[in-house]
Homo-oligomer: A and B are copies of this chain.
């Protein structure tokens, strides 16, 4: 077995856990935040940039890579790692989230989903077996079962979709041929504790090497999200990693780590960076703001990222106003550094028993943007 999870520490005041995921492409200290590299590139960054940032896991999107450049091409290159020049761990999603988002362009049946490409309207079909075959060609270290993603507050649809997702999870388990990829089962059930319980129990019975929590951060309230995590915590096996898909914001890291989550991914830090918004210990700021026009300070004087070590707020604002491409990379570097560094500190605080204090201090300073952070999955 080339994949395993070591649970190194369990916080006493919260459900926070620190661990280590072993993969064929290296170890992933957990909790971990994975930058999103939708099309086999974390937008604006090279693999060298990602190494410098200390990224230990990145995500790539099966749906996008299936359409372009195609799994056969990537397989011919020896997989995603070789294709994109990133030698660290990679996770691929199942494509389910993207396909189910194609409202009006997809049709679901018991066996799978027929959909039209958002690129050229061409017709395609995903089945559990097909999605596993694609992910085996892409060759990520961690892969996902094919799941249906209903709107989290639609109980009837969630009930109907859940059984199908469970049958698909079994078929994915059956279809898997490579032994060097860890296939995670995905817990669904919307905001409904009984459905989530049912899903977690069913999937635990299939003994996946890890469990994803899907269908959250897509419109429900934070309170609902937290409640679901609390329901799942005692059900999911402690010795398997737990991955909350598509989350989160800086404050989400704290709240969800405190509820037992080990893995995160989200386009938020990189997407808002390209709009000129950056994280600071006091919350988000937009660099377009005229108050930065002559500011000689960096984004955050305590930040050690290349952007903050090198450039003033005034220069960054100038690049943004002048529509210079470099701006996108510099803000992306800062925001990912913020997420990865915050996660490193969270992990250290779990290991030395100070997580609850760190969480309290961070959240007291950090002013959140109430609902804008949400529904940012790609």
Give A residues with C-beta under 8 Å from B: 39-41, 43-48, 64, 68-69, 73, 76-77, 83-85, 293-294, 296, 306, 310-312, 314-315, 318-319, 321-322, 324-326, 328-330
Check if A83 sits within 8 Å of B315, measured CB to CB: yes
Give the Cβ gap from A83 to chain B, nearest Cβ, in Å: 6
Check if B39 sits within 8 Å of A322, measured CB to CB: yes
Check if B43 sits within 8 Å of A306, measured CB to CB: no
Check if A318 sits within 8 Å of B85, measured CB to CB: no
Check if B69 sits within 8 Å of A293, measured CB to CB: yes
Give the Cβ gap from A336 to chain B, nearest Cβ, in Å: 14
Give the Cβ gap from A212 to chain B, nearest Cβ, in Å: 26
A43 to B326, CA, bound (A): 6
Given A40-B318, A328-B325, answer yes or no on A306-B69 (Cβ-Cβ < 8 Å): no
Give the Cβ gap from A141 to chain B, nearest Cβ, in Å: 19
Check if A41 sits within 8 Å of B76, measured CB to CB: no
A41 contact set on B, CB distance < 8 A: 319, 324, 326
A329 to B330, CA, bound (A): 13
From A78, which residue of chain B is reached at the shortest CB distance? Answer: B296
A330 to B46, CA, bound (A): 9
Give the Cβ gap from A55 to chain B, nearest Cβ, in Å: 15
Check if B325 sits within 8 Å of A48, measured CB to CB: no
Check if B322 sits within 8 Å of A68, measured CB to CB: yes
Given A73-B314, A318-B68, A318-B69, answer yes or no on A325-B46 (Cβ-Cβ < 8 Å): no
Supply 14 further A-B pairs (C-beta < 8 A) apart from A41-B324, A44-B326.
A41-B319, A41-B326, A44-B325, A47-B310, A48-B310, A68-B318, A69-B321, A73-B294, A73-B314, A76-B294, A77-B296, A77-B312, A83-B312, A85-B315
A47 to B69, CA, bound (A): 32
From A44, which residue of chain B is reached at the shortest CB distance? Answer: B325
